[in-house]
């Protein structure tokens, strides 16, 4: 009797199973997070509830808490949970803006790399091989300037973070360029949010006063109403816009040089 592994198509089938296994694990983990309600813990309301405990634990076990923070951050980004800004702000509050931003930028890069590798292995390469010539031509054009494009999208997130990861994976961006562009793009944003988080005591006190006044008035819907995105000041957006424009500068220069060469020729 022939061994099952000798049958035609057996090896490709096993290869397909291993290729889709990381994606299946990711989907199951994401489903478990939402089913258990763990995603609600990554909110400002939950942070206010555990704020004093977290500060005490950081004072007693700073290194362990820093490692736990990094692990939660990497997991959240890998699962594509919209919590990066919140976690970076809390990191700046708990560990100081310098250390909090440094850890957050590395953790964000690691988490993004995880989802990039999973998407590229399970979806990106198989889908691109089946795509039409127009899509493959678009992918080839993206790869030529992939670093500048991705750096721009990281600095000015005109696309959701998770969608940018999937697009880079689908278009077959090189891993080294992806990691470097992601890290460089996350550094200024992480430092901005961490710096804002280092002064979060005043914000917490203000929202706590508002909540107490709400409760005293007999209202039941006394949420904090704080959104981390409100920390994105016009000045910060302007600075990120300038950095984003600089990221696209090499593309503009190459285009201008190519157009000038065609005109002269």
pLDDT for 49-69, tens place per residue? 888 899 999 999 999 999 999
CA distances from 61 to 34, 53, 65, 99, 258 (A): 29, 12, 6, 15, 57
Structure tokens at 191: 């430092």
Contacts of 97 by beta carbon, 8 Å cutoff, 6+ apart: 191, 194, 195, 197, 198
What is the structure's pLDDT at 179? 95
On whether residue 37 sits in a domain, the answer given is yes
Does residue 259 have a pLDDT over 50?
yes
What is the structure's pLDDT at 199? 78
On whether residue 184 sits in a domain, the answer given is yes
CA distances from 198 to 174, 188, 195, 226 (A): 36, 15, 5, 16
Structure tokens at 36: 């258990």
Please give the span between the terminal C-alpha atoms of the chain, in angstroms, as a whole number: 69
Q: pLDDT-derived band of residue 141, with 50, 70 and 90 as boundaries?
A: low
Number of domains in the chain: 1
Task: Determine the Cα angle at 119 with ends 144 and 158, to 5°.
Answer: 60
On whether residue 8 sits in a domain, the answer given is no
On whether residue 5 sits in a domain, the answer given is no
The mean pLDDT of the chain is 77
On whether residue 33 sits in a domain, the answer given is yes
Q: What is the pLDDT of residues 172-196, one digit of tens each?
A: 788 999 999 999 989 988 988 888 8
Question: Residue 227 is part of which domain span?
Answer: 13-264
On whether residue 6 sits in a domain, the answer given is no
The pTM for the full model equals 0.77
Task: Determine the Cα angle at 250 with ends 128 and 264, to 5°.
Answer: 100
On whether residue 7 sits in a domain, the answer given is no
Lowest mean pLDDT among 28-32, 45-49, 81-85, 175-179: 45-49
Q: Which of 84, 66, 96 is nearest to 195 (CA)?
A: 96
Average pLDDT value for residue range 111-127: 80
Contact 108, 77 (CB under 8 A): yes
Residue scoring higher pLDDT (138 or 140): 140
Q: pLDDT-derived band of residue 210, with 50, 70 and 90 as boundaries?
A: confident
Rounded CA gap, 158 and 206, in Å? 31
Q: What is the pLDDT of residues 241-250, one digit of tens each?
A: 666 666 665 5
Rounded CA gap, 112 and 43, in Å? 21
Lowest mean pLDDT among 5-19, 57-71, 98-112, 180-194: 5-19
């Amino acid at each position: 009797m022939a061994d099952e592994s000798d049958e035609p198509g057996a090896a490709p089938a096993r290869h397909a199973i291993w290729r889709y296994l990381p994606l299946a694990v990711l989907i199951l983990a994401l489903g478990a997070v939402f089913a258990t309600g763990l995603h609600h813990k990554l909110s400002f309301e939950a942070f206010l509830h555990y704020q004093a405990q977290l500060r005490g634990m950081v004072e007693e076990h700073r290194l362990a808490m820093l490692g736990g923070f990094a692990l939660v951050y990497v997991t959240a980004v890998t699962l594509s949970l919209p919590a990066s800004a919140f976690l970076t702000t809390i990191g700046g509050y708990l560990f100081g803006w310098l250390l909090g931003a440094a850890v957050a930028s590395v953790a964000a890069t690691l988490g993004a790399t995880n989802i990039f590798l999973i998407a590229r292995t399970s979806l990106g390469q198989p889908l691109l091989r089946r795509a039409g010539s127009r899509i493959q031509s678009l992918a080839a054009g993206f790869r030529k300037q992939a670093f500048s494009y991705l750096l721009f999208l990281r600095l000015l997130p005109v696309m959701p973070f998770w969608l940018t990861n999937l697009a880079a994976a689908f278009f077959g961006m090189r891993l080294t360029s992806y990691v470097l562009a992601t890290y460089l793009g996350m550094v200024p944003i992480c430092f901005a949010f961490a710096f804002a988080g280092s002064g979060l005591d005043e914000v917490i006190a203000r929202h706590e006063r508002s909540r107490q006044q709400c409760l005293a008035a007999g209202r039941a819907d006394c949420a904090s109403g704080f959104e981390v995105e409100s920390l994105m000041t016009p000045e910060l957006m302007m600075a990120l816009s300038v950095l984003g424009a600089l990221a696209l500068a090499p593309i503009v220069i190459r285009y201008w040089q190519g157009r000038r060469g065609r005109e002269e020729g």
